[in-house]
Structure 1
Amino acid sequence: MSDVTITVRGENEVRVAPERATIHVTVRAEGPARATVVEQVAERAEPVRTGIAERQDAGAVIEWNSKRLAVRAERPWNDQGRQLAPVYYASIDFAATFTEASELSIWVSEISAWDGVDVGWVNWHLTPQTRADIEREVASSAVGVALQRAQAYAAALGLEFVTPVEIADTGLISREQAPPQMLKARGAAFAAAGSAPVMEYEPEDIVVSATVEARFTAR
């Protein structure tokens, strides 16, 4: 029997507890006088800034940032169609990365009751090194799954030897058969479920997955 081309897909995924939580907080103030609004938002932002800095000193926060003061004015309309005097809006945004969900929950419970403080979304994530290590492991396992499938197909046809020809991310494998005994490693497609911002302070596991397409020749 001549060589047979076998094209398969390999998948794998693991669930990992998040190691970091980045929370976004906005401090706001509004009123008829620009100077008063600016002063008020600065006063409201100070305890937020102090609380984050204290937690950074204690090791609960590994990094944080604060955007510059933003001020805008709007002239509302009344129900009689008349434009009223300007209303000024001021805001300061904060982002802080916590190492512990429990410490994050305590801090959020504290600041959420403060005037002018809006608690935004939390992004649960892994450290770059952990993500790189897991992605490498998951990719390797996905390739192994593809190889096992190819070997199973070959065995069903009474063939013994399986040779890799091409490996690619999903949708990137060539449509024409590549020459035998050539291996093109183009990586793996990774997806992390739960990376979209959500209003939760008890994290769910992060799903790291990989899917590859592979082509083999069997004889």
Structure 2
Amino acid sequence: MSDVVITVRGESSARVRAEEAAVRVTVSTDGPSRGPVVERAQERASTVQDGLVAHLRSGEVSEWSSARVSVWSDRPWNNEGVQLPLVHHASVEVSATFTDAGALSWWLGDVAESDDVQVTAVEWRLSPDTRARVEREVAAEAVHVAVERAAAYADALGLASVSAVEIADAGLLGARPEAPAPINARLMAASNAHGPSFSLQPPEIDVTSVVEGRFRAE
């Protein structure tokens, strides 16, 4: 039998407990007078930021920022079609990265006591070093799976050895417009871990790698 080219796919995944939580809260105020509205937003935002500074000093927060501030005014309409007096609004967006779930739970419970503060997002993730290490391990295992699969095909054909010709992320060896290529080393939260009690448990993150390989068997 002449040489045979075998094309296979290898997959691997790992589940790793999230190490960080990127949280975003928005302080929003409104009222009939612009000055007091802005002042109240600044005061409430300062309280939120003071709490983050304390957690930063204790090592429970790795970074925080408050870069988005908005002030605007509008004249709402009532249900009778009459335009009401001018209403002023102010908002301050604050974001932080927590490395301790207990500290995050406590902080969210504290800031959520104010009607002026809204928790808009909590995104769990791995630290950059852990993500890079796990992605490398998972990708290597996916290649190993592809090699083993190609060897099994070759053995079924009565061929003695296989050698790699091409290895690529899924979808790169051939165009398949009818099916999107799997994303290499995807990060997905396994569960939505936050609830009304703010007793947060870091979810597991799925790290997945899919590769395609072309091998020559002889």
Q: Secondary structure at the match of 1:132?
A: helix
In 1: Cα distance, 2:168 partner to 2:151 partner: 18
The answer on whether the counterparts of 1:72 and 1:89 sit within 8 Å (CA) in structure 2 is yes
Q: Which residue of 1 aligns with 2:83?
A: 83
Distance 2:43 2:115 in 1: 11
Structure 1 residue aligned with 2:214: 215
What is the match of residue 179 of structure 1?
A: none
RMSD between aligned residues: 1.8
**Stretches of structure 1 lacking an aligned partner (at least 5 in a row):** 176-187
Is the Cα–Cα contact under 8 Å of residues 67 and 94 in structure 1 kept in the other structure? Answer: yes
Q: Distance in 2 between matches of 1:106 and 1:39?
A: 26
Q: Is 1:147 matched with 2:142?
A: no
Letter in 2 for 1:75: R
Offset at residue 44 of structure 1 (A): 1.2
Q: CA offset at residue 218 of structure 1?
A: 0.4
Q: Over residues 37-71 of structure 1, what are the superposed CA-to-partner deviations in whole Å (9 max), with x where a residue is unaligned?
A: 00111111121111111111111111000024211
Does structure 2 retain, via aligned residues, the 8 Å contact 1:124–1:195? Answer: no
Match of 1:46? 46
Cα distance, 1:195 vs structure 2: 8.5
Q: Please give the alpha-carbon distance, in whole angstroms, between the structure 2 residues aligned to 1:102 and 1:13.
A: 28
Structure 2, unpaired ranges of 5+: 176-182
| Residue 201 of structure 2 corresponds to residue 206 of structure 1 | no
Q: How many residues align?
A: 207
Quick one: distance in 1 between partners of 2:22 and 2:174? Answer: 40
Aligned to 1:124: 124
The TM-score with structure 2 as length reference comes to: 0.90
SS at match of 1:140: helix
Q: Is the 8 A contact 2:193 2:201 kept in 1?
A: no
Q: Deviation of residue 132 (structure 1)? A: 0.8
SS of structure 2 residue aligned to 1:153:
helix
Other-structure match for 1:62:
62
TM superposition score normalised by structure 1: 0.89
